[in-house]
Structure 1
Amino acid sequence: MKEITVKCPAKINLFFNIIGLDERNYHLVHGLNQSISIYDILTIKINNTNSINIKCNDSSIPTDEKNSIYKAAKLFLDYTKITTGLDIYLEKNIPTEAGLGGESTDAAGTISALNIIFNTNLSKDELNKISYQTSCDVPFCIEGGSKEVKGCGQIVIPWQNPYSYYLVITPNIGHSTKEMFNLYDNKITKYKKLKPTIGHNDFHLILNNDIKELITKIKKETKAKTAMLTGSGSSIIAIFNNKDELDNAYNIIKNELNNTYKIAKTQNVSGIEEIKK
């Protein structure tokens, strides 16, 4: 096999609690994560050079060593001691700086795809070891589906999610994850370990009024079980019991919000998936 294409799903947080810092000053978190049906598409081809070349349909995405795809590919090749070059094309559909895990799922897709294309048959532990060096969210994205996440993101445990349908509302202004964590750290006096509750996100403490008002509006005008920020944002998710409630909410919110927001109907998916040709 010399070419592979994979679908890399976005992720949402249905619960997000920052419980402290580890010895490296990395944030310790507790989350309930879910892969959803918004995808980046990644195509990887083996080339005859020793270089990793990345192209993307979105000119705002870096295509050099700063890209999570490049980092993941380099880590994989170094770990497996494979000497080759790669041509990688990213079709970017997941909004950036939105709390939807776009960079992490792209890195996970890269590692998963290379494990298939080179028939290396790496174990789950080996994949997690490589993925965690890329970013804290990548181990979850490698596994996908419904998972409870602990530690700095490297502890991933199966979780039974009672919900399947979500409205994802993304403003045209993103949130830097680093800046959101800094704002949160400056705001609080003590970290608190909470019982997992769907709809809770510690970052709500530092939200601006516009986002707070939108969350309140969604809860009031639709049949959402709840609405919340996902991750560090800027996307808001609304959770529904069934597809009819989701469809009705989509029509209500789309009619009321202007074109500075992207609105998507999504549902649960199991994780990264190879596209057979």
Structure 2
Amino acid sequence: MSETLTLPSPAKLNRMLHIVGQRSDGYHELQTLFQFLDYGDTLHFTPRADDRITLTPPLEGVDTEHNLIVRAARLLQNACNVTCGVDIRLDKQLPMGGGLGGGSSNAATTLLALDRLWNLGLSNDYLATLGLSLGADVPVFIRGFAAWGESIGERLIPAQLDAPWFVVIHPGIGVATQTVFSHPELTRNSAPISMARAVEGGRNDCERVVRMLQPAIGDALDWLDQFGSAMLTGTGACVFCALTNRAQADSILHRLREEKNEGRYRDWQAFVARGCNTSPLHTALEECRSNMMS
């Protein structure tokens, strides 16, 4: 019986996001700080003797062949002329279209898992370049370190960020990234800043437009802002607030549950997580290597 490899597929937050320009190809030039969370999806990979790639369960509204997990597996299979396949099972926790990088994280976990499972021995540089064709956020999940990101977000420099606890709220609606980036009122000319300045604090240039497009996200930002400095991650829909300790975060979550029981914010989903400067995926992979050597 084939051994199944189980790995996390963590969420990320954009601790700030400035848009400093727009390229001739339509892509936006960004400056952002990526940080991982100790919360996310889980993927299970079981090798097959044939070349089939399967994914269960199917995600509602997403054709399986278009799922980034399957696309990542086929991309690697074709790039390296792999003749074996894999059965993949996804335990989904992250909301789709939430700005937490769920699809990109799934793709990165798939590339790193199959590199190991298929004994390819590829470098992270190669996998990050391959992953970029699937999405601009895939490389940061491949690299596995909190990072200062520039260009479209793929030019990465390691960043040492504080690692507070976070409350993350998804208001129960989605945001189309393309709609935000094509909006005529989106700020596209923020002055570039240094990484050191960004670490001290920044804003998300998408927030004003997202508030206009989806007032419910503005409601979540305003509610969370009473406990600290609330911010949008990516283009949303998720919003977050950094807290000093777990007890503070749990208290806010408890407050939200009480208000939901009173009939308010019924569509909101929330969780508590810790910030990580090393991806939980890479921690798990290192544990796998250590176990093999012991």
Question: What aligned pairs does 1:14-25 form with structure 2 within 5 A after superposition?
Answer: 14-25=15-26
Q: Please give the secondary structure, in 2, of the residue aligned with 1:131.
A: helix
**How far does the alpha carbon of each residue in 1:146-182 deviate from its partner, in whole angstroms, 9 at most, with x for none?**
2111111221111111232100000111111111211
Preserved contact between residue 22 and residue 188 of structure 2 (Cα < 8 Å): no
Residue 201 of structure 2 aligns with which residue?
198
Give the conservation status (yes or no) of the 8 Å contact 2:41–2:90. yes
Identify if the C-alpha distance between structure 1 residues 190 and 34 changes in structure 2 by more than 3 Å, giving closer, same or farther: closer
Query: Aligned partners of 1:237, 1:88: CA distance in 2, in Å?
Result: 30
Cross-structure match for 2:130: 130
Which residue matches 1:53? 54
Q: CA deviation at 1:67?
A: 0.8
Flag the 1:189–1:131 CA change in 2: closer, same or farther, 3 A.
closer
C-alpha contact 1:218 1:253 (8 A) present in aligned 2: no
- Cα offset for 1:44? 1.6
Q: Relative to structure 1, is the Cα distance of residues 89 and 210 closer, same or farther in structure 2, using a 3 angstrom cutoff? A: closer
Selected match of 2:185 from 166, 184, 187: 187
What letter corresponds to residue 67 of structure 1 in structure 2?
N
User: Contact (CA 8 Å) 1:3, 1:43: kept in 2 or not?
Assistant: yes
Task: Give the corresponding residue for 1:92.
Answer: 92
Q: Per the alignment, in what secondary structure is the counterpart of residue 120 of structure 1?
A: coil
Conserved? CA contact 1:163–1:241, under 8 Å: no
Please identify, of 69-78 and 204-213, the stretch whose mean Cα deviation from structure 2 is larger: 204-213
1:140 maps onto 2:121 in alignment: no
**1:4 paired residue number:** 5
Q: 2:230 aligns with which of 227, 237, 240?
A: 227
The equivalent of 2:28 in structure 1 is 27
Alpha carbons of structure 1 residues 161 and 189: separation in structure 2 relative to 1, 3 Å: closer
Deviations 1:85-109 (A, max 9, x none): 2221111111101101010000000
Separation (CA, whole Å) in 1 of partners of 2:188 and 2:92: 38
Closer, same or farther in 2 for the Cα pair 1:83/1:60, shift >3 Å? same
Unaligned runs of 5+ in 1: none
Query: 2:119 matched to 1:119?
Result: yes
Tell me how many residue pairs correspond in the alignment: 271
Quick one: structure 1 residues 264 and 188, their matched pair in 2 at CA, closer, same or farther if it must change by over 3 Å? closer
Equivalences for residues 162-173 of structure 1 within 5 A = 162-173=162-173
Q: Which moved more, 1:152-161 or 1:91-100?
A: 152-161
Alignment CA distance shift 1:29-1:122 (3 Å):
same
**Structure 1 residues 188 and 262 mapped into 2: Cα distance closer, same or farther (>3 Å)?**
closer
Give the drift of 1:262.
Answer: 0.4
Partner of 2:259: 256
Percent same amino acid among aligned pairs?
A: 27
**Contact conserved, 1:199 with 1:227, CA < 8 A, in 2?**
no
Give the 3 Å change call, closer, same or farther, for CA 55–210 of structure 1 in structure 2.
closer
Q: Deviations over 1:38-92 (max 9, x none)?
A: 221111222233332211264344312x111112112212222212222211111
Q: Given the alignment of the two structures, is residue 36 of structure 1 paired with residue 37 of structure 2, yes or no?
A: yes
Deviation at 1:23, TM superposition (A): 4.0
Secondary structure, counterpart of 2:21 in structure 1: strand
CA contact (8 A) 1:3 1:117 kept: no
State how far apart, in whole Å, the 1-side matches of 2:26 and 2:234 are. Answer: 19
User: 2: CA distance between counterparts of 1:144 and 1:43?
Assistant: 19
User: CA, structure 1 residues 141+189, in 2 after alignment: closer, same or farther (shift >3 Å)?
Assistant: closer
Distance in 2, Cα, partners of 1:46 & 1:210: 43
Once residues 9 and 271 of structure 2 are traced to their aligned partners in structure 1, the CA distance between those partners, rounded to angstroms, is 16
Distance in structure 2 (CA, Å) of the matches to 1:264 and 1:241: 16
Consecutive unaligned residues of structure 2, counting only runs of 5 or more, are none
Name the CA distance, whole Å, in 2 between partners of 1:10 and 1:123.
Answer: 23
Q: How well do the aligned residues superpose, as a CA RMSD in angstroms?
A: 2.2
Measure how far apart 1:218 and its partner are. 2.0
Q: 1:235 to 1:81 in 2, by over 3 A?
A: same
Q: 2 CA distance for matches of 1:70 and 1:256?
A: 40
Alignment check: 8 A CA contact 2:171 2:220 kept: no
The answer to whether the 8 A contact 2:186-2:205 is kept is no
Counterpart check, 1:67 vs 2:67: yes
**Deviation for aligned residue 1:250:** 1.9
For 2:273, the equivalent position in structure 1 comes to 266
